[in-house]
C-alpha cells in the first residue's frame, strides 16, 4: 500500500512558526513519525511539501500516474482557497483524508470553509501531529476495507 502525504504552504516552517498553534515539531520530524506509523500499518509513506499550488497539483497527478493508493492532505491555507487542488484530488480518483494540526473551526472564520472536505474520506483537525497519524490510520483502514 502506497500513501503520499501532501503538505501545503508554510508547513516547512513547522517547529518555529507559531508554536502555540502548530507545536514545536518540525516537518521532518512529522514525516519520520508518519513513515514509522505507516510501516506499523503495512503502508509505505512518502511526503511532499510545497509553497506553490501548481507544484502540489503536479505532485498529485504524478503520484496517481505512479500508482499511489491514497493521500493524507494538509493543504494548509490552500484548503480554504484552492479549487485547483480539490479538482486534482477529484480528478485522480484516489481516496484522501484531509488533516490539520490546529482546530480550524476554533480559529478565524475564513478557515471554516474547506474546498477539499466534500471529496475526502474524512477530516481530522485539532490534534496536532496526531491529526496526521489518525488520518493515516483512517486512510489505511479505508483502503483495506475497499479491497
What's the pTM value of the predicted model, to 2 decimals?
A: 0.93
Q: Which residues contact 36 (CB under 8 A, 6 or more apart)?
A: none
What is the tens place of the pLDDT at every residue in 21-54? 777 889 999 999 999 999 999 999 999 999 999 9
108 pLDDT higher than 70 = no
Residue 147: predicted pLDDT: 76
Residue 1: predicted pLDDT: 96
Residue 127: predicted pLDDT: 92
Task: Give catalytic residues, as residue numbers.
Answer: 22, 100
Q: How far is CA 127 from CA 4, 33, 64, 123, in A?
A: 20, 15, 28, 11
What is the tens place of the pLDDT at every residue in 45-84? 999 999 999 999 999 999 999 999 999 999 999 998 899 9
- Cell triple for residue 105? 473551526
Residue 23: predicted pLDDT: 74
In three-state form (DSSP H/G/I as H, E/B as E, the rest C), the secondary structure along the chain is CEEEEEECCCHHHCCCCCHHHHCCCCHHHHHHHHHHHHHHHCCEEEEEECCCHHHHHHHHHHHHHCCCCEEEEECHHHHHCCHHHHHHHHHHCCCEEEEECCCHHHCCHHHHCCCCHHHCCEEEECCCHHHHHHHHHHHHHHHHHHC
Query: What does the alpha-carbon distance between residue 95 and residue 76 come to, in Å, rounded to a whole number?
Result: 18
pLDDT band for position 102 (50/70/90)?
confident
Residue 43: predicted pLDDT: 98
**Closest Cα partner for 5 from 81, 52, 63, 58?**
63
Query: What does the alpha-carbon distance between residue 80 and residue 90 come to, in Å, rounded to a whole number?
Result: 16
With a pLDDT cut of 70, the percent of the chain lying above it is 95
For the domain with range 2-146, which CATH number is right: 3.40.220.10, 3.40.50.9100, 3.10.310.30, 3.40.50.2300?
A: 3.40.50.9100
- Lowest average pLDDT, out of 26-30, 94-98, 112-116, goes to 112-116
What are the extents of the domains in the chain? 2-146
pLDDT band for position 106 (50/70/90)?
low
Amino acid at each position: 500500500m502506497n500513501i503520499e502525504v501532501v503538505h501545503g504552504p508554510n508547513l516547512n516552517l513547522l517547529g518555529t512558526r507559531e508554536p502555540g498553534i502548530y507545536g514545536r515539531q518540525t516537518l521532518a520530524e512529522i514525516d519520520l513519525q508518519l513513515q514509522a506509523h505507516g510501516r506499523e500499518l503495512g503502508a509505505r509513506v512518502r511526503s511532499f511539501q510545497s509553497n506553490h499550488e501548481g507544484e502540489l497539483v503536479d505532485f498529485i497527478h504524478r503520484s496517481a500516474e505512479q500508482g499511489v493508493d491514497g493521500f493524507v492532505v494538509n493543504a494548509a491555507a490552500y484548503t480554504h482557497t484552492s479549487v485547483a487542488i480539490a479538482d486534482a484530488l477529484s480528478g485522480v480518483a484516489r481516496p484522501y483524508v484531509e488533516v490539520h494540526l490546529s482546530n480550524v473551526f476554533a480559529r478565524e472564520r475564513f478557515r471554516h470553509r474547506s474546498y477539499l472536505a466534500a471529496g475526502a474520506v474524512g477530516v481530522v483537525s485539532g490534534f496536532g501531529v496526531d491529526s496526521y497519524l489518525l488520518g493515516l490510520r483512517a486512510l489505511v483502514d479505508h483502503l483495506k476495507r475497499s479491497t
